[in-house]
Amino acid sequence: MTNQHRRAFAHALPSPLLGEGRAARLVTPLAILLLAVLFLILPALTARAAMTIQEVKSQKGITAWLVEDHTVPIVAIRFVFDGGTTQDPVGKQGLAHLMTGLFAEGAGDLDSDAFQVKLDDAGAEMSFEAQRDGIYGSMRMLSLRKDAAFDLLRLAVNRPRFDQEPIDRIRAQILSGISASERDPKAIAERKWLRAIYGAHPYSRPDVGTKESLAGVTPADLGAFHKATFARGGLHVAVVGDIDAKRLSEKLDQLFGELPQKQTLSPVADIDPKLGQQVEENYDLPQTSLQLAWPGVKRSAPDYFAVVLMNDILGGSPFTSRLWEEVREKRGLAYGVGSYLVDNEHSHALLVTTATRSDRAAETLSILRQVVKELAEKGPTEAELEASKKYLIGAFPINHLDSSSSIAATLVELQLDNRGIDYIQRRSALIDQVTLEQVKAAAKKLLSAEPAIMVVGPPLGGKG
């Protein structure tokens, strides 16, 4: 869930326009093929939607959600520590991102080479990622070798080395990417957009940092950040696969039991994105990228599911949304167009994104705004609402429960959202009970606002 709904503004830019003509003629056959595949795999996915989720609590009080699956000898674990890149110290932005690149570069008594050899020998895949509101970690391993794999994960979580040579090497890789982004119009626009939307808030800062901020990061800084954020009080864990509750309870204490109880986090304020402005990055490009932002809602809001359905009707569903119909099907202005709910811990928005031929960008922007205006003023039809309900209920297993790793990721996000361990069983009813009037009210409340607009390409010659 998080990969779609917690998407940062910086990661929500439109995909490149791939072309028209032949691609457009392939849409219908492709859709038929996808539906055929769906019917073949739907029974298995439906069974996963009805899976049993256990709450496992270790002797040291560490809690995890577990889905046992002994049909395949695989175990997947996903976890997150609260905090994320918002906790980067002022002047040392990018510290969290740099840190997550170093967990496989040595831990405990193992230097970088020795650790990675051991990881290969254990047949395990390990990754860490710094997002705005959390530090995420995951491992996927063969159950027959889980003891060795879990031991390596324990070392990485508890005793990362932060040796100078790997720090310099990973930092150089990040700096190379930053240098490349300085010549990328979309990356430049992205930074400008974040500053315009969020001002001085931590969300306005680039997650990877800057050349200046990364230059001052030391091993001591990394160690202090690790100590402040890696604590049991801010930990959320999910495990899926060939392991039972008793064994998992033991592993939880092995992995996380040595960590301090409480995190030491700096407070982060809630912020509403600053709308009603237009941000332009003018480049002589053959296509123009467009991004528009309206208000969003918290996942805990009473009208959250009404907003989810409204967004799906607007631009959330491929092939059937209003934006797809008006921009792609009727006029052939873009290869892809869509809308997304952005759900960060401290800010929320609804984004519309597309990319089109630069000589038709002003026209496309005008149509985007008109589609949104009509939905705000009139709301959806009953038929649109029923179709959206069916899609959102039926697509959930495909989008979120199609592998052990994706199930673990979904369960972690449900914990972060305080959805409850029975949410997957309750979700269909929560969607079904939404009324047409509630969706109309949600559309009017959010889409009547004046949006923020970003344009990357030649000047429009007008404001759309």
- What pLDDT, on the 0 to 100 scale, is given for residue 320? 87
- What pLDDT, on the 0 to 100 scale, is given for residue 461? 65
Q: Among the listed ranges 13-27, 304-318, 394-408, which one has the minimum average pLDDT value? A: 13-27
Interval 205-220 mean pLDDT:
96
pLDDT above 70 for 32:
no
Rounded CA gap, 5 and 309, in Å?
A: 13
pLDDT above 50 for 183:
yes
Identify which has the larger pLDDT, 11 or 124.
124
- Among residues 134, 150, 154, the alpha carbon closest in space to that of 142 is found at 150
pLDDT above 60 for 18:
no
Percentage of residues of the chain with pLDDT beyond 90 = 87
Give the position of tokens 């100590």.
227
pLDDT above 60 for 240:
yes
- What pLDDT, on the 0 to 100 scale, is given for residue 50? 58
In the chain the domains, ranked by start, together with CATH numbers, are 53-256 (3.30.830.10), 278-457 (3.30.830.10)
Identify which has the larger pLDDT, 27 or 262.
262
Rounded CA gap, 400 and 15, in Å?
A: 22
Residue 78: Cβ-neighbour burial (10 angstroms; 0-12, 13-18, 19+): buried
CA within 13 Å, CB half, 327:
36
Residue 412: which pLDDT band, with cuts at 50, 70 and 90? very high
- What pLDDT, on the 0 to 100 scale, is given for residue 20? 27
- What pLDDT, on the 0 to 100 scale, is given for residue 51? 87
Helix (H) or strand (E) holding 237: strand 235-241
Identify which has the larger pLDDT, 247 or 22.
247
Strand 125-131: give its sheet, edge to edge: 54-57, 63-68, 235-241, 74-82, 134-142, 125-131
Rounded CA gap, 123 and 141, in Å?
A: 6
Residues 419 and 281: beta-carbon distance below 8 Å: no
Tell me the pLDDT tens digit for each residue of 226-235.
Answer: 999 999 999 9
Interval 55-78 mean pLDDT:
97
Interval 29-36 mean pLDDT:
39
Average pLDDT score, the chain: 90
pLDDT above 60 for 222:
yes
Residue 293: which pLDDT band, with cuts at 50, 70 and 90? very high
pLDDT above 80 for 48:
no
Identify which has the larger pLDDT, 380 or 462.
380
pLDDT above 60 for 464:
no
- Among residues 126, 124, 107, 125, the alpha carbon closest in space to that of 115 is found at 107
Tell me the pLDDT tens digit for each residue of 67-109.
Answer: 999 999 999 999 999 999 999 999 999 999 999 999 999 999 9
Give the position of tokens 């089109």.
356
pLDDT above 80 for 30:
no
Tell me the pLDDT tens digit for each residue of 436-445.
Answer: 999 999 999 9
Phi/psi region, residue 12 (left: phi>0; alpha: psi -120 to 50; beta: rest), is: alpha
Rounded CA gap, 349 and 294, in Å?
A: 6
Collapse the DSSP code of 370 into the 3-class scheme (helix H, G, I; strand E, B; otherwise coil) and give the result: helix
Rounded CA gap, 434 and 305, in Å?
A: 7
Interval 431-453 mean pLDDT:
98
C-alpha dist (Å) from residue 330 to 16, 263, 325, 326: 20, 53, 6, 5
Identify which has the larger pLDDT, 205 or 20.
205
Please report which residue ranges of 50-111 form alpha helices under DSSP H: 95-100
pLDDT above 50 for 462:
no
Interval 250-270 mean pLDDT:
97
Q: What is the DSSP letter of 160?
A: B
- What pLDDT, on the 0 to 100 scale, is given for residue 37? 40
Residues 416 and 341: beta-carbon distance below 8 Å: no
Rounded CA gap, 7 and 208, in Å?
A: 16
